[in-house]
Chains A and B, each alone.
Chain A
């Protein structure tokens, strides 16, 4: 009996120790916003780029009087690209750090796990990257918004691009989780609708997210009779993939190659000339696609501060901070439910034009960009995009009924 009780004493000591860290005051403190990004591992550059976009926005906002007269302060947590880690991190940010709102999420799998818990936290979340249609679809709720393009929008655009090519036999190489599987599913459905004659091959390739070696999948596609291949591999994985594909002669084959997130500047910067010319590249925001004052200012400030052009993830995160500014000022408070309500149906000016959070599913009507890789940019050290197409965000979106979202 004796020994057990002493052990309990240890629990008591730890319990009392925790009490010291409790207690958060609100008064005239800065407005705190929690950022949930991948900050470690092969996709960590995405988290870094998002942080850069956010830092830029926070500096600008704080320099011009803050939000509701209060300064803005960021608190970050690493999601490690895992749903369970992200859910715990969000609870920590809300209940321990006392954040007023959340931004972030890089991975569809993380988003699918975390979004259903948002109503419990009673804080708004603006997703700036994760693209699974479900979170503004069957899993939607009144606290979750997305300012970036989703898979359904981008794959509708991809199908329109693919339908213009001569390829009829299509296959895919994508990461083995929600994003890769849903990209292929939506692409296939839309492409079949436009051109019923296409053949969606049953032989598909889903390497593990974070896999180092893609050569077996590259070889398999090269040995098959595929004429077109949709590649939704992203981040550090995509950098590895392109390097390995180069050594295998993948791009010399007569294939229509479509990279669904290939024009992410994180990837283009890392690859430089290794990204081949003449492949279809997409991004949720291309920094040279929008001719407006906000974009000019944003791109210039970003180039001045960091030396490379902004990626879509930086732009989404940047715009999300301004979305919160506008929503909090419209609501006149930082209360979670009030801010979430103000975001619904809200229109704002962002680097990629006027952005509206659709009332029915909280998805922003933003435009996917597709182009074909061209010569190197003389100053920015990355490939340029030719034949740039800016799809109308609303036209490529599912209707609210199709999303299955009921708010």
Chain B
């Protein structure tokens, strides 16, 4: 019975998301596009944070390089959009392999500091290599061409772009979910709980951590490849450490222990920001208060708290 109810809710939610351009005010097409993209970014981060227990402060490096890769390809080569996304994923996977190789050998605060340092190095390169990245102004003024696969889609139309993002994020989320549910995902969870024990079981913890890091980076790159055409600019802010903080906040806000937690966190983050900035410019103050409350009183995040409550009531 419970499963049936939940499946029905799931179907309604998916239908609702598909119908956003027709049922919500036009502005929310942009809001939901942003929620989906940042949700994927946060979900990719949660693979290493919530599942594997590695707190990275440099995840924006992969998000940003994905954005720059798509922007550069659109400006100089004008390849189809799907190919841009593949380039973004390839570029971020390569970068994640390099940074991960040097970082995963360390634990806890040392890992966090190292990823922060590498993230800032990538930021500095984007900021200073003016001839390629256009420095602090970032890359702008690119046009969206064809989608690829012979599909005739007008990507510059925000509703069309929203549906494209919805489709791609849904596929990416399913793949990430399958990874989390696989035996590989189980080992990651075990590493978070007790790395020594996993090690004694004969598994190479470092390799597992590296693979998780690269997968997370690749999906962050995909999210970055989606954000550049949406924002119409790939700027160094996308690579800045403060951008690395966003998936952390979103994951904690939504609930790190659940696969869809980061998506809920992203929705809460973006919607609150939109609504609060209408009334006051001090949105960060409000966010800070909410986060402090979450960590003190609702450590499982919005989703975890909601599920606990539902389980209590629905007994």
The answer to whether B27 touches A116 (Cβ under 8 A) is: no
What is the 8 Å Cβ interface bit string for chain A, positions 95-122, against chain B (1 contact, 0 not)? 1100000000000110011001100100
What is the 8 Å Cβ interface bit string for chain B, positions 1-38, against chain A (1 contact, 0 not)? 01101110110111011001001111111111010000
- Given A8-B9, A15-B20, residue A209 in contact with residue B136 (CB < 8 A): yes
Q: How large is the interface on B (under 10, 10 to 19, 20 to 34, 35 or more residues)?
A: 35 or more
* A23 interface contact, C-beta 8 A: yes
The answer to whether A40 touches B281 (Cβ under 8 A) is: yes
- Given A95-B26, A112-B140, A113-B137, residue A11 in contact with residue B156 (CB < 8 A): no
* A92 interface contact, C-beta 8 A: yes
* B274 interface contact, C-beta 8 A: yes
Main secondary structure of the interface of B (DSSP, over half): helix
CA gap between A109 and B138 in the complex, in Å: 8
CA gap between A385 and B65 in the complex, in Å: 48
Which of B101-109, B195-203, B285-293, B299-307 is the interface stretch?
Answer: B299-307
CA gap between A96 and B158 in the complex, in Å: 14
CA gap between A92 and B276 in the complex, in Å: 13
The answer to whether A120 touches B306 (Cβ under 8 A) is: no
CA gap between A78 and B283 in the complex, in Å: 12
Q: Which B residues are CB-close (under 8 A) to A5?
A: 5-7, 9-10
Distance (Å) between the CB of A107 and the closest chain B CB?
Answer: 9
Chain B residue with the shortest CB-CB distance to A132: B137
* B259 interface contact, C-beta 8 A: yes
The answer to whether A11 touches B267 (Cβ under 8 A) is: yes
Which of A81-89, A295-303, A336-344 is the interface stretch?
Answer: A81-89
Distance (Å) between the CB of A259 and the closest chain B CB?
Answer: 21
- Given A177-B135, A178-B137, residue A18 in contact with residue B260 (CB < 8 A): no
CA gap between A117 and B156 in the complex, in Å: 10
Which of B53-61, B84-92, B208-216, B229-237 is the interface stretch?
Answer: B229-237
What is the 8 Å Cβ interface bit string for chain A, positions 20-33, against chain B (1 contact, 0 not)? 01111000000000
Q: Which A residues are CB-close (under 8 A) to B20?
A: 15
Query: Could you tell me which residues of chain A, from 160 to 195, have a CB within 8 Å of some CB in chain B?
Result: 176-178, 181
Distance (Å) between the CB of A316 and the closest chain B CB?
Answer: 22
- Given A10-B303, A78-B281, A176-B135, residue A84 in contact with residue B13 (CB < 8 A): no
Distance (Å) between the CB of B227 and the closest chain A CB?
Answer: 9
The answer to whether B13 touches A11 (Cβ under 8 A) is: yes
The answer to whether A6 touches B9 (Cβ under 8 A) is: yes
* A407 interface contact, C-beta 8 A: no
What is the 8 Å Cβ interface bit string for chain B, positions 229-255, against chain A (1 contact, 0 not)? 001110101100000000000000000
* B179 interface contact, C-beta 8 A: no
- Given A112-B137, A120-B156, residue A92 in contact with residue B274 (CB < 8 A): yes
Q: List 27 A–B pairs whose Cβ atoms lie within 8 Å, in order of A's numbering.
A: A1-B3, A3-B259, A3-B307, A4-B260, A8-B260, A9-B9, A10-B302, A10-B306, A11-B13, A12-B16, A15-B32, A19-B24, A21-B25, A83-B138, A83-B231, A84-B235, A88-B34, A88-B231, A92-B274, A96-B25, A112-B140, A113-B138, A117-B232, A139-B141, A176-B136, A177-B135, A209-B136
Given A84-B235, A92-B274, 11 other A-B residues pairs in contact with their CB atoms under 8 A: A3-B307, A4-B260, A5-B5, A16-B16, A17-B271, A18-B31, A19-B23, A19-B24, A87-B233, A120-B158, A139-B141
Residues in A lying within 8 Å of B, measured CB to CB:
1-12, 14-19, 21-24, 39-40, 77-78, 82-84, 87-88, 91-92, 95-96, 108-109, 112-113, 116-117, 120, 139, 176-178, 181, 208-209
Shortest 7 CB-CB distances between A and B: which pairs? A22-B25, A5-B6, A7-B260, A96-B27, A95-B27, A8-B13, A109-B137
